[in-house]
Amino acid sequence: MKLPHKAHVAIVDGKHFTVMQNTGQPFEPKLSSAQKPDLTASNFSAGVKHQDDIGQKHGRTDLNELAHGAAAAEWLNAKAISGELTDVLVIADPKTLGEMRRHYHSELEKRLVGEIDKTVTGEPTSKIEQVISAA
Looking at residue 64, its pLDDT comes to 75
User: Which residues is 22 bridged to in the sheet?
Assistant: 31
Q: What is the pLDDT, as a whole number, of residue 130?
A: 95
Residue 55 neighbours by CB distance under 10 Å: 12
- In three-state secondary structure terms, 82 is helix
Q: What are phi and psi of 50, to 5 degrees?
A: -120, 70
Burial of 117 (0-12, 13-18, 19+ CB in 10 A): middle
Domains of the chain are 8-134 (3.30.420)
Closest by Cα among 34, 2, 1, 5 to 22: 5
Mean pLDDT by runs of 10 across the 135 residues of the chain is 96 93 95 86 57 55 79 95 95 92 95 96 93 94
pLDDT of residue 63: 74
pLDDT of residue 18: 95
Largest Cα span, the chain: 47
pTM of the model: 0.85
